[in-house]
Amino acid sequence: MRWFETPSFDFIKYHNIAYFISGALVIGSIVAILTMGLNYGIDFRGGKEFVFQFESPVSVTDIRNELTEPLGSTPEIKLFGSESEILIRTDAEGDITEVSDIIMSTVTAMYPDNPVSIQKTDLVGPRFADDLRRGAINSIFFALAVVFIYIFIRFKGWYFSAGAIAALAHDVLIVLGIFTVMGEIAPFNVSIDQAIIAAFLTIVGYSLNDTVVVFDRIRENSIVYKTMEFKEMINKSLNDTLSRTVITSVTTLFVVLVLFIFGGEVLKGFAFALVLGIILGTYSSLFVASSLVVELQKRAMNKAKS
Amino acid sequence: MKNQNNGFKIGSIVVFLGLTLWYLFPTIQWSLEQRHMESLTETELVRYQSDNNEKLQSLRERSLKLGLDLQGGMYVTLQIGEPQLILELAGDNADDELEQIINVAEEQAVQNNTDFVDEFVSEFEARNPDGLLSRYYRSDAENITRRSTNEEIATYLRTQRDSAVTRAMEIIRSRVDRFGVSEPSIVQQGTNRIIVELPGVDDEERVRDLLRGTARLEFRMAAEPDEINASKQQISTYFQENREELEEQGMQNLLDIFSFQGVSQYSFGYAAETDTAAVNRLLSMEEVQRLIPRNTVLMWGARPFAFDSGTGLVELIAVRSQIELTGDVITEARVAFEPTTNAAEVSMTMNSEGARRWSRITGANIGRPVAIVLDGYVESYPTVQNQINNGRSSITGIGGVQEAEDLVNILLSGALPAPLDIVEERTVGASLGEASIQAGLYSVIFGLSVVAIFMIVYYRVGGAIADLALILNIIFILGILAGFQATLTLPGIAGIVLTIGMAVDANVLIFDRIREEMRGGKTLRAAIDNGYSNAMSAIIDANVTTFFVAIILYSFGVGPIKGFAITLMAGIVASLFSAIVITRVVVDYLTREKTADVSFG
């Protein structure tokens, strides 16, 4: 079986459309993040989180209303996996035992015939949350810096580094934007916690994987086809590696989709970030990173001439 | 040349595979043992475990560890109370200014994410340009004197902090050991944090008390009933008179949540357990503090004395500020039973110095109650019946045998050098862990199977070779994890799933390249050689960059993220090895004849 045996798509030709789509998505994401705020989970915000399991389905809205008064603030409540499991997130003051007792007694009073048990409790102190957040932000920036340096050394051109970093920032920003917008509507937990940061860095790694493979071919072709126009050569490199890009993306995407669908509630948000990341990572390697390299290289050349 | 090279490759495959199986063997044995033990009856099990104790323990230690998210349990991060420690080290030299400096330093340290000791010193120097910290810290034992520089004092404080953390870890370990958790893990994180992992534990409240209890035991005399009554009157009048004003300020009224009725003549009153924080806030108001006698402090009872519609009611007890005797004189503690009621209590024995002082204190206070205070809560306040000369005392009114045992355990492990705060706590129920592991496992198997089938359909023989590499890849990852004593977490499983997806990549790169070379007219052999060598730089670049990302994840992340990073690193190493070395050996073997016909689809 063979796909894309000898493709000859003109990727660079579509770069204006790609820039438009990417630009719109990035700007939309930034606007969403600025207006709605990042949807931090308790890891980065501090607070208390519980998963309660009932024997039969319960009403999230009823529980939210009933709990608001005893907790002193409206808790965030979501279904967790099934209709009879709920996730409660609150920043109510007090010892974690006190808070879980309050919730427990309230829900038992509401559903006396529906036995309930605690599946999971998480507490993160506000100071600790600050530390975790700082660590996460540092790790993302540090990762980008290391990637920039590595590509710079390996490919000997700052425009390769810049193209790759721009593509990565593009992917991460859009996933963040989608997570922000989905905060309220997603039927699963999409708040940004430590696991999501791990997913982001994996996206960085994956998107890079794709980009580097294309760059590698560009480097090879630029030695073999010395006289070819830079734009042409990039197009050729993209086409040469297209079969591999598609196969790898499809298989990886498939595995991550399986994880998203069957991997259990705890991994849903994490797997979702990876699904988005792989789609975006593939797209950005094909349409954003390379086009940017062409553009930046052209400018660098013009500057050198003048 | 080629053959020699292959000999080396085959050798390394054998070594790698052998090491992997060597490291995975205990895990396999351990799971077989576990299955065996599940089939035994209770008595057989106890017998079997004691007979094979050493073997079982060593197997368990060497087998692949599952994270708490997979097996259920409790994960707690504790942070040592540096401000309290540094205040306490100053001892009697402490003054209001020192307290202010400490408070400011604490805020600064949080805001700037800096070391507390650094902030403390710089805040002191900002206030006292030429001042010496030795004003507060003079201890002959620690090589610091009145003339020590601030830098020397800072070093001293840091040493004290480090040793406090080390001691706290030892104490926690001893407490946890007595609690009877299998495979607890207690490690230090940074300069001032301790991470405690307790697999299989679900009695959260008990663990919290166990970890946080500073075990600071004090004996204090109860306050005079007359003084208490006068003070109660005044405070209650104050809240009555200022009811409206306080309400305007949005404050709760003490009279609504607190009853001045005494359970005994020494108690100040009582409140619902859930209201104690609010009561503390109201009582700490300056106007109210003035109405409490100077030598008196109010302390809550450690346990509810009664229940009212489901909530416990706890007593507020008035005791003297002066500490008569502290817990460091206690040499022994054990659970005892009160003869008439058979209620559990903790009986304690003191050393000779303590016994002498205890004898004097009890002799002078016959007929008056002495409060036994643990970590700022009054455990009990028995009335002294007669002079006690043998250095014995006991804590009564304990809820049950288990609580008495925990208390003994805390007392015996010793007092924590400084209070520990729980800054992070995560508990996963065992059933959720089991559901997660199943879901994760099924995803891995399903994802793997479909990708494997696809590879065969798309690359034919090449695909089958890649699949073999894929299976070995997973075994390698598990072996590397077991070998490095790493813990398999849920994100770790996700990491494996992801590596499966990406491991294919190296082979896809190679096989696509081989196809390309063949399209260019090369012979099978030449295409294979060129395919491997030409794909190599892309494979290396892609994997090295991902490996860098994994290293960053590992160094910045904590807990589950570290697990993910380790799996990712193991996955990259394993997939590079299996995709480059293993498939190459197999491909070379299949194409050893000139006429060989191996299809890459």
Q: Three-state SS across B383-446?
A: ECCCCCCCCEEEECCCCCHHHHHHHHHHHHHCCCCCCEEEEEEEEECHHHHHHHHHHHHHHHHH
Distance CA B398, CA B380 (A): 9
Mean pLDDT of B61-84: 86
Statement to judge: residues A33 and A181 lie in one domain: yes
Q: Is B454 near chain A, with CB under 8 Å? A: yes
Q: Which of A98, A119, A197 sits opposite B432 (nearest CB)?
A: A119
Statement to judge: residues B67 and B90 lie in one domain: no
Domain finish residue from A70, A91, A124: A124
In the predicted model, what is the mean pLDDT of chain A? 86
- The whole domain housing A78 covers 47-124
Residue B375: strand, helix, or coil: coil
Whether the per-residue pLDDT at B558 is higher than 70: the answer is no
Q: Show residues of chain A in contact with B205, CB under 8 Å.
A: 97
CA distance, residue B506 to nearest chain A CA (Å): 9
Statement to judge: residues A180 and A65 lie in one domain: no
| Interface subset of B 307-346, CB within 8 angstroms of A | 310
pLDDT in tens, B444-492: 788 888 889 999 999 889 899 989 988 888 889 999 989 888 888 877 8
- Partner-chain contact A130 B113, CB within 8 Å: yes
Residue in chain B lying closest to A259 (CA): B443
Closest CA to A93 of A80, A106, A120, A75: A75
Residue B194: strand, helix, or coil: strand
Contact B403, B344 (CB under 8 A): yes
**In this predicted structure, what is the pLDDT of residue B1?**
42
Statement to judge: residues B137 and B184 lie in one domain: yes
Statement to judge: residues A187 and A281 lie in one domain: yes
**In this predicted structure, what is the pLDDT of residue B141?**
60
Statement to judge: residues A146 and A248 lie in one domain: yes
Q: Show residues of chain B in contact with A240, CB under 8 Å.
A: 516
| CATH code of residue A289 | 1.20.1640.10
Number of separate domains in chain B: 5
Q: Which of B426, B537, B552 sits opposite A142 (nearest CB)?
A: B552
Distance CA B538, CA B513 (A): 11
- Our measurement of the distance from residue A295's CA atom to the centroid of its chain's CA atoms, rounded to an integer in Å, reads 27
Query: CA of B495: how far to CAs of A156, A274, B182, B534, in Å?
Result: 31, 11, 27, 28
> Tokens in use for B580?
């480059």
Whether the per-residue pLDDT at A48 is higher than 70: the answer is yes
Statement to judge: residues A20 and A52 lie in one domain: no
Residue in chain A lying closest to B447 (CA): A255
Domain finish residue from A103, A124, A145: A124
pLDDT in tens, A149-160: 888 888 888 888
Contact B504, B470 (CB under 8 A): yes
Contact B490, B69 (CB under 8 A): yes
**In this predicted structure, what is the pLDDT of residue A26?**
95
Q: Show residues of chain B in contact with A241, CB under 8 Å.
A: 512
Distance CA A289, CA A204 (A): 13
Which of B421, B432, B446 is the mutation pick for testing A, counting most A CBs within 10 A? B432
Statement to judge: residues B460 and B555 lie in one domain: yes
- Partner-chain contact A201 B553, CB within 8 Å: yes
**In this predicted structure, what is the pLDDT of residue B548?**
86
Q: Show residues of chain A in contact with B502, CB under 8 Å.
A: 206, 209, 248, 252
- Partner-chain contact B502 A206, CB within 8 Å: yes
Query: Is residue B601 situated within a structural domain?
Result: no
Bridge partners (DSSP) of residue B38 are: none
Closest CA to B552 of A191, A215, A155, A149: A149
Statement to judge: residues B441 and B574 lie in one domain: yes
Statement to judge: residues A169 and A253 lie in one domain: yes
Which of A242, A260, A266 is the mutation pick for testing B, counting most B CBs within 10 A? A266
Q: Is B79 near chain A, with CB under 8 Å? A: yes
Contact B400, B341 (CB under 8 A): no
- Partner-chain contact A204 B450, CB within 8 Å: no
**In this predicted structure, what is the pLDDT of residue B26?**
92
> B79 exposed, middle or buried (CB, 10 Å; 0-12, 13-18, 19+)?
buried
Statement to judge: residues B376 and B499 lie in one domain: no
Statement to judge: residues A27 and A164 lie in one domain: yes
B385 φ/ψ angles, rounded to the nearest 5 degrees: -85, -45
Q: Show residues of chain A in contact with B537, CB under 8 Å.
A: 216, 220
Helix axes B150-179, B116-127, angle to 10 degrees: 150
> Tokens in use for B110?
């949080």
Query: Is residue B595 situated within a structural domain?
Result: no
> Tokens in use for B62?
């060497």
CA distance, residue A227 to nearest chain B CA (Å): 20
Q: Is B113 near chain A, with CB under 8 Å? A: yes
Least confident of A162-171, A273-282, B589-598: B589-598
- Partner-chain contact A267 B490, CB within 8 Å: yes
**In this predicted structure, what is the pLDDT of residue B559?**
65
Least confident of A29-43, B156-170, B272-286: B272-286
Bridge partners (DSSP) of residue B79 are: B193, B421
Query: Is residue B239 situated within a structural domain?
Result: yes
Distance CA A204, CA B449 (A): 26
- Partner-chain contact B565 A97, CB within 8 Å: no
- Partner-chain contact B451 A254, CB within 8 Å: yes
Statement to judge: residues A213 and A268 lie in one domain: yes
pLDDT in tens, B175-220: 787 776 777 888 888 888 999 988 888 777 788 888 877 777 888 9
Statement to judge: residues B188 and B87 lie in one domain: yes
Which of B275, B498, B540 is the mutation pick for testing A, counting most A CBs within 10 A? B498
Query: How many CB atoms within 10 Å of residue B400?
Result: 10
Question: What HEC string does A113-172 produce?
Answer: CCCEEEEEEEEECHHHHHHHHHHHHHHHHHHHHHHHHHHHHHHCCHHHHHHHHHHHHHHH
Query: Is residue B275 situated within a structural domain?
Result: yes
Query: Is residue B21 situated within a structural domain?
Result: no
Statement to judge: residues A280 and A171 lie in one domain: yes
- Partner-chain contact B561 A194, CB within 8 Å: yes
Q: Show residues of chain A in contact with B504, CB under 8 Å.
A: 247-248, 251-252
Give the single-character DSSP code of B241: H
Query: Is residue B416 situated within a structural domain?
Result: no
Statement to judge: residues B186 and B54 lie in one domain: no
Residue in chain A lying closest to B456 (CA): A1
Q: Which of A93, A134, A146 sits opposite B552 (nearest CB)?
A: A146
- Partner-chain contact A202 B549, CB within 8 Å: yes
In the predicted model, what is the mean pLDDT of chain B? 84
Closest CA to B495 of B560, B407, B409: B560
Residue in chain A lying closest to B203 (CA): A97
- Partner-chain contact B426 A121, CB within 8 Å: yes
Distance CA A265, CA A86 (A): 11
- The amino acid at B366: I
Statement to judge: residues A6 and A139 lie in one domain: yes
Query: Is residue B412 situated within a structural domain?
Result: no
Q: Which of B421, B490, B537 sits opposite A216 (nearest CB)?
A: B537
> Tokens in use for A35?
């207006």
Number of separate domains in chain A: 2
Who wins on pLDDT, B24 or B45?
B24
Q: Show residues of chain A in contact with B466, CB under 8 Å.
A: none
| Interface subset of B 242-281, CB within 8 angstroms of A | 273-274, 277
CA distance, residue A306 to nearest chain B CA (Å): 34
> Tokens in use for A115?
């036995």
Statement to judge: residues B132 and B224 lie in one domain: no
| CATH code of residue A114 | 3.30.70.3400
CA dihedral B236, B239, B241, B246 (to 10 degrees): 180
Statement to judge: residues A70 and A199 lie in one domain: no
Q: Show residues of chain B in contact with A124, CB under 8 Å.
A: 423-425
Share of chain A above pLDDT 90, in %: 11
- The amino acid at A209: N
Closest CA to B59 of B15, B18, B21, B23: B23
Query: CA of B277: how far to CAs of A61, A94, B234, in Å?
Result: 30, 8, 21
Distance CA A270, CA A258 (A): 12
> Tokens in use for B421?
């705060």
* Sheet of strand B392-395, all strands in order from the earlier edge strand to the far edge: B330-337, B344-350, B392-395
Closest CA to B370 of A74, B378, B149: B378
Burial A94-133 (b: 16+ CB within 10 A, else e): bbbeebbbbbeebbeebbeeeebebbbbbbbbebbbbbbb
> A1 exposed, middle or buried (CB, 10 Å; 0-12, 13-18, 19+)?
exposed
Statement to judge: residues B301 and B152 lie in one domain: no
When mean pLDDT is compared over A207-211, A250-254, B597-601, the highest value belongs to: A250-254
- Our measurement of the distance from residue B441's CA atom to the centroid of its chain's CA atoms, rounded to an integer in Å, reads 27
Mean pLDDT of A73-96: 84
Task: Provide the pLDDT confidence category of residue A134 given band limits of 50, 70 and 90.
Answer: confident
Least confident of A1-5, A68-72, B188-192, B227-231: A1-5
Statement to judge: residues B435 and B572 lie in one domain: yes
Domain finish residue from A90, A124, A158: A124
Query: How many CB atoms within 10 Å of residue B360?
Result: 13
Tell me the ipTM for this assembly. Answer: 0.83
Statement to judge: residues B340 and B486 lie in one domain: no
Distance CA B565, CA B470 (A): 20
Bridge partners (DSSP) of residue B300 are: B316
Residue in chain A lying closest to B448 (CA): A255
A75 φ/ψ angles, rounded to the nearest 5 degrees: -80, 160
**In this predicted structure, what is the pLDDT of residue B214?**
72
Q: Is B456 near chain A, with CB under 8 Å? A: no
Q: Which of B110, B425, B542 sits opposite A96 (nearest CB)?
A: B425
Statement to judge: residues B445 and B504 lie in one domain: yes
> B195 CB contacts (<8 Å, ≥6 apart)?
B75, B76, B77, B78, B185, B186, B187, B188, B189, B559
CA distance, residue A230 to nearest chain B CA (Å): 20
Contact B158, B85 (CB under 8 A): no
pLDDT in tens, A195-205: 888 888 777 77
Give the single-character DSSP code of B310: T
Q: Is B225 near chain A, with CB under 8 Å? A: no
**In this predicted structure, what is the pLDDT of residue B190?**
83
Task: Provide the pLDDT confidence category of residue A29 given band limits of 50, 70 and 90.
Answer: very high
Q: Which of A51, A123, A154 sits opposite B422 (nearest CB)?
A: A123
Give the single-character DSSP code of B338: -
Contact A106, A68 (CB under 8 A): no
Closest CA to B88 of B137, B127, B135: B137
Contact B408, B327 (CB under 8 A): no
Closest CA to B311 of A259, A224, A195, A101: A101
Residue B202: strand, helix, or coil: coil
Cα-based angle A125, B418, B177 (whole degrees, multiple of 5): 85
| Interface subset of B 548-587, CB within 8 angstroms of A | 548-550, 552-553, 555-561, 564-565, 568
Statement to judge: residues A119 and A215 lie in one domain: no
- The whole domain housing B232 covers 218-319
Residue in chain A lying closest to B73 (CA): A120
Q: Which of A94, A120, A220 sits opposite B428 (nearest CB)?
A: A120
